[in-house]
Amino acid sequence: MSSGCKVAVVGTVGLPPNYGGFETLAHFMVLCLGEAMHFTVYCSGPDYPVHSATYLSAQLKYLPLRANGAQSIGFDLLALVDSCFHADVILVLGVSGGLFVPLTRLFGKRVILNIGGLDWQRSKWGRWASRFLKLSEAVAVKFADVLVADNEGIAAYLSAEYGRESVLIEYGGDQITLPPLTEERLRRYPFLRDRYAFSVSRIQADNNIEMILQAFTRSASLVLVVVGNWASSAFGRELKARFADHANLYLLDAIYDPDELNALRGHCTIYVHGHSAGGTNPSLVEAMHLSLPIAAYDVIYNRATTEGSARYFSTAAELEELLERVSRAEWENQRAAMKEIAVRRYRWSVIADKYAEILKA
């Protein structure tokens, strides 16, 4: 395959990246590899009020469906079918449309699959949705030509569950910068003047937000700031109502301005990471690039990402114990270790080079 191969990217909301990890990955693939390869990125038409024809060097194709939720199945189907008519290789991100990956064999297309995390394990899905996603994952894994695992834990899962080897390619986080604490920010967020813990995530059960909140209500050692989409679900609304009156908790709505978000998390004393459902999480990698001390939920994915150098908890009591027992000096000593791992492993130039190798193989 020539260096000018045509690559279709299927499974993201689209570009520019306004949603999550897969979109950021697509952005840096185009940014780093766009001169050597021809990218087509499929975008969710309803999520972009302006339908630009290109982004950087990539061609954008808009579909009349959303790339998330129930519509993601149809979105991926349309994208896969269309990409078979123009792409040399198809990069599939996620498994929503995994049942349709076998169609690519009819066209002789090469498929590279990054399953992300184990989406079927997420607590937000009901029983039938979870079963569908597991089946979709199994079909996609079976028929993809190359599997990408973004974490050693995912690689071990693919080997044990399906007997298939994968290429380990994580995420980058070096796009993160640390904005200054301006007087305006200090007025808006008075907790910035003191020591505080910070967490940012979608408010869903598998991110263990309730556990984290419980720990901090029982510990007076630090203020906790949590940024998330509280209003997007009954679970989030109930949780916010239940914990809103605690004096040491600041429950902030989702912040989409990167500078504002990075100012809040980048100056925290401890970053608390509750994600449990798999993979190398972009927000954790970004926290490491900001040299933040990290208390992470104890699963193989978070231990692998931090190389066992963070602090870990499995219950509210264990997190409370960390807050009370670990000294300030011990938390501060974590900063250099987190930064060293991030610089060594989680830079976008490194990630793009690894993808280039398998795209051109």
pLDDT tens string 48-68: 999 999 999 999 999 999 998
| pLDDT of 213 above 50 | yes
The reported pLDDT for the residue numbered 4 is: 83
Which residues belong to CATH 3.40.50.2000 in the chain?
6-172+347-359, 183-345
pLDDT band at residue 268 under the 50/70/90 scheme: very high
- DSSP, collapsed to helix, strand or coil, labels residue 126 as coil
CATH superfamily, domain 6-172+347-359, is: Glycogen Phosphorylase B; (3.40.50.2000)
pLDDT band at residue 121 under the 50/70/90 scheme: low
Predicted structure pTM score: 0.91
Cβ-in-10-Å burial (0-12, 13-18, 19+) of 269 comes to: middle
* Amino acid (1-letter code) at residue 265: R
Contact between 33 and 295 under an 8 Å Cβ cutoff? The reply is no
Comparing 220 with 162, which gets the higher pLDDT? 162
Q: Where are the beta strands (DSSP E) in the chain?
A: 6-10, 38-44, 54-55, 58-63, 89-93, 110-114, 146-149, 167-168, 196-200, 223-228, 249-253, 270-273, 294-297, 311-313
**CATH number, domain 183-345:** 3.40.50.2000
Average pLDDT value over all residues in the chain: 94
pLDDT above 70 coverage of the chain, percent = 97
Q: 58: how many CB neighbours lie within 10 A of its CB?
A: 22
The reported pLDDT for the residue numbered 124 is: 66
The reported pLDDT for the residue numbered 1 is: 37
